[in-house]
Amino acid sequence: MQIPTFDDVLAAHERIRPHVHETPVFTSSTFNRLTGAELFFKCENFQKAGVFKARGASNAVFSLSDEQADKGVATHSSGNHGLSLSYAAGRRGIPCTVVMPRTAPEAKKEAVRGYGGTVVECEPSTSSREAVFAEVVASTGAEFVHPYNDPRVIAGQGTCSRELMAQVEGLDAVIAPIGGGGMVSGTCLTLSNIAPEVEIYAAEPKQADDAYRSFKAGHIIADDAPVTVADGLKVPLKDLTWHFVSNHVTDILLAEEQEIIDAMYLIWQRMKIVVEPSSAVTLATIFKNKERFAGKRVGVILTGGNVDLKKLPWM
């Protein structure tokens, strides 16, 4: 297991700078009043491809040698990593194949194709996803870029919190959503090096709480096909992300489905920005744990805004 270092984050930041945005930080007096905390929202919904995963994907793609790149890249993804990898591959002019659950949002499948990627569908389970993906790699010889259990990807995601710490002084805590743990791992990697005093929280849907159960048990517990409105958070931790989560995360907090939907609605209504359910899990857990965050300056990573506008969860 190759564990990325903070030097890898610094190198990634230089490598991806031409291909990603430095995303803005927004505040909301309404949410500060409702939570009793000072919240600073790092808006990765404004990132290239609409999601933080453009960082890790771009770092992986532009790390490849010309010989590796010639065969293209491939991955499996419920959507955001796949469309981000397609975006990055398009920037480099190489092929990209994405294995996606047939139940993945059509908007995300269309985005993969829009960036020039090829979609191969599978059943909505981790086992089906990995079996179909093995066939794709065998036939193409493409470089596998794992959605999160890849040191290149984690180093790329670590650039987000590096920006956040430069944009906002004196943070007491940072909270990010957790599925497979790529963003949380990148956050751990960066903050443990430049701001070890900052608490790191992960936010997870109660209906896909394998990271929470893993954290409490002290070893990885993987669910095969959880059902949650937060479609980006259905995947389990792997060895590399577990290393960061188990060593650096302060706690993992849970939110119910309706709490996630309500938080998403409030962000749309009060902040006038588009975020997807996976992003809203952070605010939902802050509302649920006000006593933990009261009086603190909290960085809240809004991970993405790739929503199927025809199927909004409150409609």
Distance, in Å, from the CA atom of 169 to the CA atom of 120, rounded to the nearest integer, reads 44
pLDDT in tens, 260-277: 999 999 999 999 999 999
Is residue 150 included in any domain, yes or no?
Answer: no
Is residue 1 included in any domain, yes or no?
Answer: no
Contact 297, 41 (CB under 8 A): no
Residues 102 and 177 grouped into a single domain: no
| 282 to 32, 164, 231: CA distances (angstroms) | 14, 16, 14
Q: What are the tokens at 150?
A: 């890849």
Residues 176 and 45 grouped into a single domain: yes
Residues 196 and 293 grouped into a single domain: yes
Which of 21, 231, 114 lies closest to 98 in space, CA to CA? 114
Is residue 28 included in any domain, yes or no?
Answer: yes
Distance, in Å, from the CA atom of 276 to the CA atom of 42, rounded to the nearest integer, reads 14
Residues 201 and 68 grouped into a single domain: no
Is residue 139 included in any domain, yes or no?
Answer: yes
Domain harbouring 61, CATH code = 3.40.50.1100
Residue 251 is part of which domain span?
A: 6-51+157-302
Is residue 279 included in any domain, yes or no?
Answer: yes
Residues 34 and 165 grouped into a single domain: yes
Distance, in Å, from the CA atom of 146 to the CA atom of 74, rounded to the nearest integer, reads 8
Q: Dihedral through CA 74, CA 80, CA 81, CA 83, nearest 10?
A: 40
| DSSP secondary structure, 174-243, as one string | EEEE-SSSHHHHHHHHHHHHH-TTSEEEEEEEGGG-HHHHHHHHTS----SS---S-GGG-SPP-HHHHH
Residues 289 and 163 grouped into a single domain: yes
The number of beta carbons lying within 10 Å of the beta carbon of residue 57 is: 38
Is residue 14 included in any domain, yes or no?
Answer: yes
The number of beta carbons lying within 10 Å of the beta carbon of residue 315 is: 6
Residues 204 and 284 grouped into a single domain: yes
Distance, in Å, from the CA atom of 287 to the CA atom of 67, rounded to the nearest integer, reads 49
Residues 190 and 284 grouped into a single domain: yes
DSSP assigned state of 142: P
Separation of CA 254 from chain center: 16
Residues 94 and 44 grouped into a single domain: no
Q: What is the pLDDT of residue 91?
A: 96
Which residue bears the tokens 């389970």? 125
Contact 115, 143 (CB under 8 A): no
Which residue bears the tokens 């992960």? 202
Phi, psi of 122 (to 5 degrees): -140, 175
Q: What are the tokens at 44?
A: 């990765």
Q: What are the tokens at 97?
A: 């194949």
Residues 68 and 46 grouped into a single domain: no
Burial 234-265 (b: 16+ CB within 10 A, else e): bbbbbebbbbbbeebbeebbbbebebbbbbbe
Per-residue pLDDT of the chain (315 residues; tens, 9 = 90+): 799 999 999 999 999 999 999 999 999 999 999 999 999 999 999 999 999 999 999 999 999 999 999 999 999 987 889 999 999 999 999 999 999 999 888 888 999 999 999 999 999 887 898 899 999 999 999 999 999 999 999 999 999 999 999 999 999 999 999 999 999 999 999 999 999 999 999 999 999 999 999 999 999 998 877 899 998 898 899 999 999 999 999 999 999 999 999 999 999 999 999 999 999 999 999 999 999 999 999 999 999 998 888 889 998
Residues 63 and 189 grouped into a single domain: no
Q: How many domains does the chain have?
A: 2
Residues 69 and 40 grouped into a single domain: no
Helices vs. strands in the chain: H and E counts, helices first: 14, 10
| Amino acid at position 1, single letter | M
pTM over 0.85: yes
Distance, in Å, from the CA atom of 279 to the CA atom of 281, rounded to the nearest integer, reads 6
Is residue 151 included in any domain, yes or no?
Answer: no
pLDDT in tens, 166-184: 999 999 999 999 999 999 9
Is residue 314 included in any domain, yes or no?
Answer: no
